[in-house]
A = this chain, B = another copy of it.
Amino acid sequence: TETQFFAGIPKIPYVLDAEGGDVLCFKHYNAEEVLMGRRMEDWLRFSVCYWHTFCGTGADPFGLQTQRRPWNEGTTPMECAKKRLHAAFEFFNKLGVKYYTLHDRDLSPEGMTLDETNRNLDEMTDLALELQNKTGVKVLWVTCNLFAHSRYMNGAATNPDSHVFAYAGAQLKKGLDVAKKLGAENFVFWGGREGYNSILNTNVAAELKHMANFFKMAIKYKEKIGLQCQFLIEPKPKEPCKHQYDYDAMSVIGFLKHFGLEGDFKLNIEPNHTTLAGHSYEHDVVMASVFGMLGSVDSNTGSPDLGWDTDQFPMDIRNTTMVMKTVVEQGGLQPGGLNFDAKVRRESTDLEDLFIAHIGAMDAFARGLRNAVSIIEEGVIASMVKERYMSFSRGIGQKVEDGTASLEELEDYVIQNGEAKVTSGKQEKYETVFNHYM
């Protein structure tokens, strides 16, 4: 019989009339409920991340481990790895989440050689596949950890040493194999060490070209092995590097277009990264969507008064509403989803805190979805916006829209029509209407 790691915690139910102190039930997330023709779980496509939730220890730059997990107690790394995987699937099932995400190195320990590392990974992915099949839980995305090992300290695909580049390539090859084996619906690239710490020692042009070539090799190998998943790049402006090349959505889009890679990638947007880049919470979700590049969302949050990635569970209903409004407007995120790249605070040392945090965040997104659906179905905001841009569907506006107007024609229009009206932007009205649905 299997060990239970979360004894005493039942399958989390949806309880409509729960009270303030009830925190081990959903008050808003009702997986099967249908909104705008789709079940909540299909709009939200929640995913639990493996690294924070099962590998995290609570250590931070100023302190040691605080969280001691039963699945990390064992005599060998591989024994722990297996217990950890069992714990994870127990967690997924009790929480009622259908997806998880992982780095290659979350699942199994690095060995002394690449070969040993890969054998560890084979053994662990066999077990993962077995548990996936047994439970129906699937992989939202796989990614390679190309930033934690000391060999990557100066970058992986942008390392000044081609030997390290080669190591990253070898690891990526195996990562793509793992994605195929586990049926991952997406594959993410996060370039935590792809950037610079000092511009003085860095050849930016060379590094960007190497990174592009790395991606091209990935595309070729993906095609070769018939891997069907969506490739995603995850922007982050800084931390650990002083500057990371994938600064924000537009930086990545610029990079992809420069190197002709835009057809093969979408973006995985993490709002905590967006705010670190100086944007508002929802900005990169919106911008990526506008460019047809929004593939998936790492649903977490930071504190706007802190300058690093706190990876907190998203609890702000305004934020979740803004994200879900964009997601519903673009018709959903599939094959992407909402991945909780979030960790319980270092001080949240109880096992139940892992549940409370996910439940709270899932409810926050469920409320966001409900709000967004109301906003969209009632259409008050949409019709205000439509009216605002109406002049571009006729006359000179239509010609601008079509790209057929010239500066001379615009001048003629002004000569004939004189000064333009000053029209209120009515921001406070929009905010007030928005608040109505919160």
Contact = CB atoms under 8 A, between A and B. Distances in A.
Nearest to A383: B21
Interface stretch (A72-80, A83-91, A316-324): A316-324
Given A161-B391, A198-B430, 17 more contacts: A60-B240, A63-B153, A163-B396, A166-B411, A166-B414, A167-B414, A168-B410, A176-B407, A203-B389, A213-B401, A247-B250, A304-B304, A306-B307, A315-B432, A317-B318, A348-B428, A350-B424
A4 interface: no
B313 A428 contact: yes
Nearest to A402: B213
Q: 10 closest pairs, A vs B, by CB? A: A307-B307, A254-B254, A162-B397, A169-B410, A347-B425, A304-B304, A360-B432, A357-B428, A170-B411, A250-B251
A160 B388 contact: yes
Contacts of A2: none
Interface string A306-340: 11100001011110001000000000000000000
B66 A422 contact: yes
21 contacts: A20-B436, A62-B148, A63-B148, A64-B150, A151-B422, A153-B349, A161-B391, A162-B395, A162-B400, A163-B413, A164-B420, A166-B396, A174-B411, A197-B425, A206-B389, A206-B401, A258-B291, A277-B278, A349-B422, A360-B429, A363-B435
Given A283-B199, A353-B429, A391 B435 contact: no
A3 interface: no
Given A304-B304, A308-B307, A406-B217, A316 B318 contact: yes
A239 interface: yes
| Interface size bracket, A side | 35 or more
A233 to B, nearest CB: 13
Copies of chain A in the complex: 4
Contacts of A395: 162
